[in-house]
Structure 1
Amino acid sequence: MLKYIKFSLFHLLTLPFLIGITLGGYWMALGVTAVLMVVVLGDVLLGDDSSEPEYAMPWLLNGLLYSSLFFVILLFGLLLWSVAEHDLFGYGQWVMHWTGYNALAAREANQWWHFLPVLLGAGLLISIVGTIPAHELTHRTADRSAMLIGRWLLAFSADCSFAIEHVYGHHRYVGTAQDPATAPRGRTVYQHIVRSTVGGNVSAWAIEKQRLVRQQQALFGYHNRFLRGVGMTLTLCIVAFSLAGWPGLLVFCVSATLAKALLEVVNYIEHYGIVRQLHQPVRPYHSWNSTKRVSSWASFNLTRHSHHHARSQLPFYQLKAYPDAPDLPTGYLGSVLLTLVPPLWFRLMAPKLQQWDSRYGQNTDAAG
């Protein structure tokens, strides 16, 4: 049963965040601290996991994916409660009734700096709890329920265009100059966040425009998935403002921006410096992998990225580890932290890229 339970780790990571907001003050750093400690240290202490078990109850794993929307809404609601002028949803009274703790008084005592780790934690958790399951669901293009829930999950990071560009753009152009999500060597993660965000949206709009032309549909209308995605995020903005005023809108926009930025950092580590000619088929060596145990559990096997690009329609629980594929210096979140110091990231990746060139560079004219 552990092979099923392990993928519920991302659910559990929401609890310290919710508890921290409820307790207020310096406890509001509990969420982001817990995520960093569990995932980063867990990868260091628990090592690798290349197992490929069979799953007789895939419905249970799919249930974990679909339930992520509930947890993101819960995060969203409590984030708004933390800045609302009134006791939104009666949450403070509910806490007082069941625990005797005066959460409303604790909230009133919060200072602006207490919200810095909350916003970091919200962005991090929206990425883990929202964007990662959305990535899996929006690959299931024939399943309307999966697409609907996946797109709503992406709306919390203002990134519904990801469901277009990633599936129909990135997977086609990965490793080439045409792919905005593939970072060339020497580009810092900060440059990449901006360039990939802009390039990804431009690409998504172009892909959707081509689709609508083929189907003889109006560009500016309901059938435009790009515009519908913008509308979904605007709906969340309206909800945030309606429930918690300008502070609510501000915390939502900041957390969504951070979540989107983190997605681009993940894109950065997954394909940094790897090159491919457009005529070449996508191979396992066109992605950086990680077999770190906790990263795999917390990301629905997104770390098995080589197999994902080879067979993008496979559900996450059927992905193979590919232990011989190029590997990251550490797990996903640890690698994300390394990118924040570009000289350190470049130094760690230089020998890995040299090894990549020596093994695979003869297959492309762009290596080196």
Structure 2
Amino acid sequence: MTDMDAWRDRKRPLWPLALVVPVLPFVSLLLGTWWLTPVFILGVIPLIDLAIGDDRANPPDEVVPALQASPYYRWITYLFLPAQYAALIVCCAAWVTGPSAGLILTAGLVNGIAINTAHELGHKRESAERWLSKIALAPTGYGHFFVEHNRGHHVRVATPEDPASSRLGESFYRFWPRTVVGSLRSAWRLETSRHRLRSRNPWTWRNDILNAWAMTVVLFTALTITFGPAVLPFLVLQAVVGFSVLEAVNYLEHYGLRRQRNAAGRYEKVDPRHSWNSDRLVTNVFLFQLQRHSDHHANPLRRYQTLRSFDVSPQLPAGYATMLVLALVPPLWHRVMDRRVLAHYDGDRALANVAHR
């Protein structure tokens, strides 16, 4: 009997539920309401999360190699992309017949959550998965995330220098422009430096930002030709909603947490204390275990099905779907989270990543 025979992934039949998200626009079309997707993601999922609760089970170390190698888990992430693009096409067709705010939120939420799929794919060594990551980013025009997240955020996470790490006392609305602009600037600096170190002009198709942005241009052009110029405002607005969903998740993942400097003046190594985690089962299934964020930062090449929960990681009081809604209401966010940040540092505010007034 092998280790995999002795141990079973109890969530194995649940992982395809992640594909429910890009299917929701089709259900909305059938039911005649474009508010189904926002209500389901921001309302129903938090309630189910609360009812079902946490799952803290970790796979044994001895089964991880076989679990990582299983194609079953990869194909679920691959299938998200055609469903995502089909949903976008359906939303574009609906927009030209009757624009609505619900339609913008529907497409924006689907493509914003697709950035999480891009995140899972973009961390892998396989070239095909890295290209698929850029394809998933194209509908939001956020191709530079491929560069900044992997080579910027993962290096500077939980430090004041990281535009994607939010600070204690900082509202989401202050964080949003800082991270959107800062992440773009950082990505461009990182990518141009990479080419110049190789004595290459950065204005080349080998530039990972330019070829990712080119995918957005080709996609938006094709949709405009197909559905007419009236679809362009929709594409821009849903893209803003989409990358704002990503930045809201960034906001809650490292809020107020800071790596300390060692005797040499360098930041300590990233460990499970530097990310907010949540073991809510439902949201973890829908987000490919993004909520086990501490293990992801410590081991970015681990595939989602092998990520672990650690007792030393600070825990969010709810899943990401609930916390995202809370982040949009700063007084409630600060009331819930600020005391948790301070408790994590035994009341020493000086140890936290604090916003400058």
1:138 maps to amino acid: G
Displacement over 4 Å in runs of 4+: 54-57, 359-362, 364-368
Note closer, same or farther for the CA distance 1:338–1:261 as it changes in structure 2 (3 Å cut).
Answer: same
Bigger drift between 271-280 and 157-166 goes to 271-280
Shift of 1:10: 2.1
CA contact (8 A) 2:195 2:201 kept: yes
Name which of structure 1's ranges 7-16 and 233-242 shifts more when overlaid on structure 2. 7-16
What code does the residue aligned with 2:49 have? D
Aligned residue for 1:236? 219
What SS does structure 1 have at the residue aligned with 2:36?
helix
CA contact (8 A) 2:257 2:353 kept: no
Q: Where does 1:8-23 land on structure 2 (aligned, <5 Å)?
A: 8-23=16-31
Partner residue in 2 for 1:32 = 38
Aligned length: 336
Q: Which residue in the other structure is 2:115 paired with?
A: 131
Residue 282 of structure 1 corresponds to 270
Moved more, 315-324 or 335-344: 315-324
Q: State the alpha-carbon separation in 2 of the partners of residues 366 and 265 from structure 1.
A: 17
1:359: Cα distance to partner? Answer: 8.0
Deviation digits for residues 116-167 of structure 1 (CA, Å, limit 9, x no counterpart): 1221121111122x11111011001x21100110111011111111110100
Counterpart position of 1:148: 131
Letter of the 1:122 counterpart? A
Which residue number in structure 1 is paired with residue 4 of structure 2?
Answer: none
Q: Structure 2: where are the runs of 5+ without partners?
A: 1-8, 261-265
SS of the equivalent of 1:21 reads helix
Structure 1 stretches of 5 or more lacking a match?
85-106
Superposition TM-score, scaled by structure 2 size:
0.89
Q: Percent identity?
A: 29
1:1-368 to 2 correspondences below 5 Å: 3-24=11-32, 27-53=33-59, 54=63, 56=67, 58-84=70-96, 110=98, 112=99, 115-128=100-113, 130-140=114-124, 142-277=125-260, 278-358=266-346, 364=351
Counterpart residue type for residue 120 of structure 1: L
Aligned-partner residue type, residue 69 of structure 1 = L
Aligned-partner SS, 1:309 = helix
Q: Specify the code of the residue in structure 2 equivalent to 1:73.
A: Y
| C-alpha separation in 2, matches of 1:22 and 1:43 | 26
* CA 242–330 in structure 1, closer or farther in 2 if over 3 Å, else same: same
TM-superposed deviation, 1:350: 1.9
- State the TM-score, normalized to the length of structure 1: 0.86
Contact 2:326 2:332 in 1 (8 A): yes
Structure 1, 11-20 or 204-213: larger mean CA deviation: 11-20
Q: Which residue of structure 1 lines up, in the alignment, with residue 6 of structure 2?
A: none
